[in-house]
Homo-oligomer: A and B are copies of this chain.
C-alpha cells in the first residue's frame, strides 16, 4: 500500500480520536454541571458543541475524500465506514451533552435533590457512561476488539438504571415536592433518557468498530 494513503488513513483516525476526547470532555463537563447545577460549566459545554459539529463535518468530508480518492476495499473500506458511523454517534453524544447542559442552564432549580440523585443512581449512571466512553476510546486507539466487547455488558446496567428512574421520578413527583418539580421531573426524565441514549450510541460504536475488526455484523443481533 502506498505510504501516503496510510498517512491519510492515520490522519483520519487521529481526528476521530480527537473528536472522541472532545466528546468525553463534553460529557464529563455536562455531568459536572448537572450534579453541581453549575450554569457556568453548562454554558461552556454549550459553547463547545459547535466544535463537535465541525469535527463531524470535517471527518465526514475526510472520509468521503478518502473513499473518492483512494477507493479502499475490504478492511480499508470497512474501517472508513465504521469511522463514518462512529463519528455520527460521537456527534449525537455531543448533542446529548449539550442538551444536558442546556437543562442545567435553563432550569430555575438551584440544586438537585440529593436524595433523588441517590435514589435514581444518577451518579452511577454517569460514571458508567463515562467509563464506557473511555473504554471505547481505548478500544478504538488500540484497535482492540476484546475491549470493545466488554462495552455491551455495561450498557445493560445503564438501561436498568434508566428503567428504574422513571418509576422513582414518578413517585417523587406525585408525593413529595413543591410546585415546579413536575416540570423538573419531566426534564430530569429527559436527562436520564439522554444518558441512556448515550450508552446506546457507545454500544453502537462498539458494534461498528467490531464490525470493522471482525467483519461480523453484531448490530441488531441482540435486539432482533
Contacts and interface: CB of A to CB of B under 8 A. Distances in A.
Interface majority SS (helix, strand, loop, mixed), chain A: helix
A85 B85 CA distance: 8
A187 interface: yes
A174 B181 CA distance: 9
A78 B60 CA distance: 11
Contacts of A187: 166
Contacts of A71: 71
B67 A67 contact: yes
A156 B224 CA distance: 34
A214 interface: no
A73 interface: yes
Interface of A: 50, 53-54, 56-57, 60-61, 64, 67-68, 71, 73-74, 77-78, 81, 84-85, 88, 166-167, 169-171, 173-174, 179, 182-183, 185-187, 189-190, 193, 217, 219-220, 223-224
B179 A166 contact: no
Given A50-B223, A53-B220, A193-B193, 4 more contacts: A57-B217, A57-B219, A68-B74, A174-B182
25 contacts: A50-B220, A50-B224, A53-B220, A53-B224, A54-B220, A54-B224, A56-B219, A56-B220, A64-B78, A64-B81, A67-B67, A67-B81, A68-B73, A68-B74, A68-B77, A85-B88, A166-B186, A166-B187, A171-B182, A173-B186, A185-B186, A186-B186, A186-B189, A189-B190, A190-B193
A157 to B, nearest CB: 20
A77 B169 CA distance: 47
Contacts of A179: 174
Contacts of A190: 189, 193
Nearest to A220: B53
A85 B92 CA distance: 13
A67 B71 CA distance: 8
A84 B78 CA distance: 13
Contact of A182 (B50, B54, B170, B220): B170
A48 to B, nearest CB: 12
